[in-house]
Amino acid sequence: MDKLVTVFGGSGFIGRYITEELAHRGWRIRVAVRRPNEAGFVRTYGDVGQVEPVFCNIRDDDSVRAVTHGARAVVNCVGILAESGKQSFDAVQDEGAERIARIAAEAGVSRMVQLSAIGADAGSESDYARTKAEGEAGVLKHMPDAVILRPSIVFGPEDQFFNRFAGLSRLGPVLPVVGADTLFQPVYVEDVARAAVLGVEGEAAGGIYELGGPDVRSFRELMQEMLEVIRRNRLVANIPFGLANLMGWGFGILETVSLGLVQAPITQDQVRNLARDNVVSDGAKTFADLGIEPLAMEAVLPDYLWRFRPSGQYDEIKESAKNMR
């Protein structure tokens, strides 16, 4: 039987690493995305013809059915951090996930891996967290043996977390954050990809796995560690939740009246999420159940954050020159 897998959102941050790992293991991969012309780079992850970006809109049955046909497994990496037009949390993270599982089951697909997030909770006030949980339920309804992965904040060369705040640190002496005392358990993107591939290959039992790295840090501590790596001295200032919520409301109105030309740097829904710790729950299945030892941040961050240092790639040379006699 052909080792064909469809990776929905396979050109995104996490999806591209899953795609590359699958290619290394000999799978043929359909990378299902809304803009395949912008995902051509995934072809380089395998041999000629092994990895192919294809069009898919997960809000449409026929579109999902077309890219699922003939696949042995499916992986859903599609998710959003903020709503935009028809790309709502309900449409993408709830209905979209269930649609993929339903059509996969109808097509006789044997395995499914769903990328969710720590904090997924059907009773949450956050639409992001609520729809993540509802998407999980929809997947399990149709694919009861699916592997569901709930990572904490994911870091790696293309991440939108450390890269974003490292960039902001160049703008002034103060680095503002919301929820400075909220706890996170950052996880390396390649470790998440390895977990997903185990699910695709049937080497992981079905169920929900919460994925966190070896370090638990507050938001403030993460920023301080990042600042040490990029060698910048900045004050990490906490924005109170009340003020942050008001800012999210104001930015939301500005984004609406500008017809999306101005992107809100933070939303009210994100503020709600930042009020809750983002760490692995007691008793949850973890990396240990998958036989994976996650990598620590300190082993990875310097490899891609060096470009935010005051002198970039020359910073270490300048430091070394100071020690010359």
Given a cut of 60, whether residue 317 has pLDDT beyond it is: no
What is the pLDDT confidence band of residue 80, given thresholds at 50, 70 and 90?
Answer: very high
Q: What is the pLDDT of residue 255?
A: 85
* Alpha carbons 183 and 205: distance in angstroms, whole number: 28
Neighbours of 227 (CB within 10 A): 20
Give the alpha-carbon dihedral of 209, 215, 218, 221, to 10 degrees.
Answer: -150
Average pLDDT over residues 244-271: 89
* Alpha carbons 209 and 35: distance in angstroms, whole number: 30
Average pLDDT over residues 303-325: 72
Annotate 172-225 with DSSP letters as a single string. Answer: -SEEEEE-TT-EE--EEHHHHHHHHHHHHTT-S-SEEEEE--S--EEHHHHHHH
Q: What is the pLDDT of residue 155?
A: 98
Within 13 Å and on the Cβ side, how many CA atoms surround 288? 5
Q: Is 220 exposed, middle or buried (0-12, 13-18, 19+ CB in 10 A)?
A: middle
Query: pLDDT of 12-61, one tens digit each?
Result: 999 999 999 999 999 999 999 999 999 999 999 999 999 999 999 999 99
Query: pLDDT of 206-240, one tens digit each?
Result: 999 999 999 999 999 999 999 999 999 999 999 99
Amino acid at position 208, single letter: I
Question: What percentage of the chain reaches a pLDDT higher than 70?
Answer: 95
Average pLDDT over residues 182-191: 98
Q: What share of the chain is helix, strand, coil (3-state, %, to 5)?
A: 45, 20, 35
* Alpha carbons 57 and 54: distance in angstroms, whole number: 10
The pair phi, psi for residue 100, each rounded to 5°, is -60, -45
Q: What is the pLDDT of residue 256?
A: 84
Amino acid at position 41, single letter: F
Picking from 77-86, 155-164, 185-194, which range would have the lowest pLDDT averaged per residue? 77-86
* Alpha carbons 71 and 105: distance in angstroms, whole number: 11
Q: C-alpha distances in angstroms, 138 versus 100, 142, 148? A: 9, 7, 12
Domains defined for the chain, CATH in brackets: 4-156+183-212+277-294 (3.40.50.720)
